[in-house]
Structure 1
Amino acid sequence: MSREKVKISSFLAEREVRYKPDIANKLGLKRVKKIDFTGNIHLVESKPTRTNMILVKKGDLLISGINAEKGGVAIYEYSEDAIATIHYSSYTYDESKIDIDYLKWFLKSNEFKQTLIDQAGSGIKSELKPKRFLSLEVSLPTLNEQKEILKNLNSINSEAEELKSLIVENEVFLSKLRQSILQDAIKGKLTQKWREENPDVESSSELLRKIKTEKEQLIKEKKIRKEKKFEKISNEEIEFDIPASWTYSRIVDLSKVVTDGDHSTPERTHEGYYLLSARNVTNKGISLQKVDYVSESEFIRMRKRCAPQKGDILISCSGSVGRVAIVDKDDTYVMVRSAAMVKHFHEYLDSEYLAFSLKSPYLQTQIVKKTKTTAQSNLFLGRIKELVVPLPSLEEQIAIKEKVKQLFTYCNEFEQEIKISKNNAEKLMQSILSELLGQENNVLVNKSASRNQERKLSREIKYNSKTLLMDLVEILKENGKLHAEDLWKMSKHPNDIDAFYAELKKQIEEEKAIKEVVNEKGYLELA
């Protein structure tokens, strides 16, 4: 296959139409908001601008000069014209030299994205400008050869899409499987054999009697407040039969306290004690990403209202309602009112069983029904207290918990296989792109670049399937010194360059775990 090395400017031309702000504001055209890193262009309605704008027309190649190295490149396919800030550049193409669908595939290749990283660097100061972009060279097949390559790519892509569809189906199945496990758990289906083998276990009605006795004593001692009387559980609230030794109970009857976080606005600090809100309550546990802090004095004040201790249950009750987490440490957290706490009787009710129950379809349906939706969804304390939970004996709660955790282990293993399949599918497609487009065609080089730099860019990419689920430090421990491109393709983010560089930046600048190799541009090693 013949390949002619040509400048990009031989088949692309910058659309040089510019508008002053006063003219742009009168056009009434939609505006490019962003190009996401999967190559989709997002538009917003016309809004006033104070900067010069460029014109974008259907079929133009649109590039984000700031985020080009992260995949901010796409073909504009909307029928109506749009405008964009001068941080974007728009290009027309010569149909006699380049097939637009071939160009789309070319722009999807990891090699193209990596070249933009190498050429543009990162940040506004190294923005990819048209003059620089158009001066790059590429080995270009003839138009007929491009069309032949397209036939193969489209055929393979059809199979790849079927594979992606199967992966999505597996993800949906896995989500439904987890929900089914939780629903079967609170119906007693997972422990039917256990009950047959343990017929003399104390009934849950006796468990409730003990809780009631202890709760009355705590009220008498003024350690907790007496709750208002809630209505008896109605038949409408019961969706399924439970084993004879079980009973239904409201959350309020299983708890010492059901409360939420501080209702005033606490004074936040840059460090100190953790201040949790709804965003920190996830179904995988308490997340300390984007967590706020308060001083010791605020911490002491706020814990007078709500003092989460290890084993207590937290529920997100504002915005995204119904996420459930178990408190993992004593004397560590305070909360704002967007999160609620259930301080149940730990000696009679297993925390993990209660958390699994609250995550089940039965309880989540109750939560949705009891949520008040205005500007945002809110689940108020009275509604949380009303929630109805199937209650087995403590011994059976523990047996259920262990069975669910065992089944979830299988689900987790399946999930890892799905993640590996997704990564492998992406890497396979990129490998096919490299093969069909041609390695030389996937490597852009600046005409002024030295031969040594050209050899580095066209080197064989390293790959190790064992690294698919490793973090960057583990990959370097396993493989030693690596080029940044190798590290990217062997990482968890082979199709998300933004996520890769965010992790890499953290390991270099914050963790000080990775460093650049001296006198070997583009290579990384453990610090």
Structure 2
Amino acid sequence: MKYVRLKEILRESKIVSDSPNPDKRITVKLNTGGVEKRVLKEEAEGATKYFIRHKGQFIYGKQNLFKGAFGIVPDELDGFESTSDIPSFDVDDSCYADWIVRYLQCNKLYKKLEGLAKGSSSKRIHPEQLYNIEIPLPNKDVQKTKLNDIKNVEVIVKESLLNINSQEKYITLLRQSILQQAIEGKLCEQNPDDEPANIFFKKIQEEKEKLISERKIKKHKESNPINEVEKPFELPRGWVWCRLEDIIFQLPQNGYSPNRVDYITNTKVLTLTATTRGILDINQYKYVDDNISKASHLWVKQGDILIQRSNSIDYVGIACLCEVDLQGYIYPDLMMKLQCLPSINLKFILLCLRSPYIRNYFRNKASGTSNSMKKITQGIVANTVIPLPPFAEQQRIVEKTERLMALCDKLEQEVKKVKSYSSQLMEAVLQEAFGSEKRSIQGTIIEYVSKPQLQQKQMQFTAAARGNVKESTWNNLVARALEIVCEDN
């Protein structure tokens, strides 16, 4: 196949704009996201020279070409402008502009161009470096055929990804529905032989009074009565409403965030990301060198529930349970900690805290002018109204919820597989178009591994995206989920 350097088919466009318009600026998105209009910004008049760009031109960002900032000027941005840092090029009649774009996408070639960048503080890939790249150049009929093949597969991938995204949203809704039904008593059948929750709750209070009399915990003022407005749904027979402060040792306590050190110590403070997913990740920490008493409440212990007291509106109030025996970890100031009484099922309380009802309660109560940083207080958490079932039913609810969530995990894994097939398919069709070659770009070796099984890849992907997951695996797992929900009901 014939190869040419880009300098043979590209010519930089340098038409200066006589009357620059801040509302007609072009930006090139990263990760091959394409070319779009830049958001209107204030500019110092006459401070920068702008150049007029025209539809169909190849365009890229000098600083971010190796991050996928390149594309073609679309029709609707004809006559728009950019600085010399985002140059555009007229393409020779022997080549389609999209041919160049697809070549740079193949095997993510653009990522391998970082070595071409020049400069000390801010590195750039200038047209002179770009021009040295060699590109295969068949006749335009061949280019057109191959580009059409790529576009046809791209349509399949996009359609399937829309379906996948819908499935992901469905799984999220399914998880929320499971949690909400769990705390409303709709997952398990009530057993009349269970000890009623009002008797169970009375025993909890007696247990608490005993611990107070033994001076193991401090007495705090009695919780406020729960009025009807605070009850968001009707409870099954045998359940009661209570406040979170009624079933915990002490009121929630904030953590502590000492300055981190760059050497290993015996004390680690968890970072906020350690609990953002609702599962404790003990690998997210920083070392600190503070003298913290062994009796301090700051140490994270097995059975502690950690709640994010400050985060964005979507994450504030996220809770997780420490299920392992930890040594040497404290929790940060942006979290608070709960310790439930021994007779409480911790996983049921965690399930309540993760439910849509309580997540919405935290969001609505959170303060702060910006959605990126909201806060909830200890009082808000302590006053949380909890639906409390009989102790035996708590365990049944937890077990059924865990089984349903495990099936949701399987559904998510199937969706991830399909997403993986989509990227494999696009890569296969690109490599099929450009063949198997090793080309040198100023000392950088770019290797393309041929994957001739394009048709097989396409069949695998379409089967997974439209058949196995949706019609077989998906339906089977959802049917099993429904069976679990209906068990004993």
Report the TM-score, using the length of structure 2 for normalisation.
Answer: 0.77
Corresponding residue for residue 195 of structure 2 = 202
Report deviation, 1:145: 3.5
Pick aligned residue for 2:405 from 405, 408, 414: 408
- Structure 1 unaligned spans of 5+: 20-25, 464-527
Corresponding residue for residue 344 of structure 1 = 340
Q: Which has the higher strand share?
A: 1
Quick one: distance in 1 between partners of 2:440 and 2:199? 79
Contact 2:300 2:330 in 1 (8 A): yes
Corresponding residue for residue 308 of structure 1 = 300
Task: Say if 2:169 is the partner of 1:179.
Answer: no
Pick aligned residue for 1:71 from 68, 73, 95: 68
Letter in 1 for 2:260: R
1:409-448 Cα shifts (integer Å, max 9, x gaps):
111111111001001011112212222x3315xx572377
Change (3 A) 1:457 1:254: same
1:340-360 Cα shifts (integer Å, max 9, x gaps):
111111x22122221111111
Corresponding residue for residue 483 of structure 1 = none
Pick aligned residue for 2:243 from 250, 254, 260: 250
Quick one: distance in 2 between partners of 1:184 and 1:32? 49
Letter in 1 for 2:274: N
Report deviation, 1:225: 2.9
Letter in 1 for 2:302: K
The alignment's C-alpha RMSD in Å is: 3.8
Letter in 2 for 1:94: V
Change (3 A) 1:81 1:221: farther
The SS at the match of 1:248 is strand
Task: Say if 2:2 is the partner of 1:4.
Answer: yes
Letter in 2 for 1:6: V
Report deviation, 1:462: 11
Pick aligned residue for 2:89 from 82, 89, 92: 92
Contact 2:25 2:80 in 1 (8 A): no
Quick one: distance in 1 between partners of 2:399 and 2:337? 24
1:382-404 Cα shifts (integer Å, max 9, x gaps):
11111111112333222222211
What does residue range 125-524 of structure 1 map to in structure 2 within 5 Å? 128-192=125-189, 195-196=190-191, 199-262=192-255, 266-270=258-262, 271-272=264-265, 273-288=267-282, 291-297=285-291, 299-300=292-293, 304-320=296-312, 321-327=316-322, 328-345=324-341, 347-375=342-370, 376-435=373-432, 437-439=433-435, 445-446=439-440, 457-460=447-450
The SS at the match of 1:340 is strand
Letter in 1 for 2:345: D
Corresponding residue for residue 53 of structure 2 = 57
Corresponding residue for residue 39 of structure 1 = 33
The SS at the match of 2:293 is helix
Report deviation, 1:89: 5.5
Quick one: distance in 2 between partners of 1:447 and 1:244? 75
Q: With CA pairs under 8 Å and 6+ residues apart, which has the higher RCO, 1 or 2?
A: 2
Report deviation, 1:202: 2.2
The SS at the match of 1:389 is strand
- Structure 2 unaligned spans of 5+: 454-489
Contact 1:63 1:74 in 2 (8 A): yes
Contact 1:56 1:90 in 2 (8 A): no
Q: Alignment identity in percent?
A: 24
Letter in 2 for 1:323: I
Change (3 A) 1:257 1:41: farther
Change (3 A) 1:47 1:229: farther
Change (3 A) 1:76 1:429: same
Task: Say if 2:105 is the partner of 1:105.
Answer: no
Report deviation, 1:68: 3.6
Change (3 A) 1:115 1:220: closer
Contact 1:55 1:83 in 2 (8 A): yes
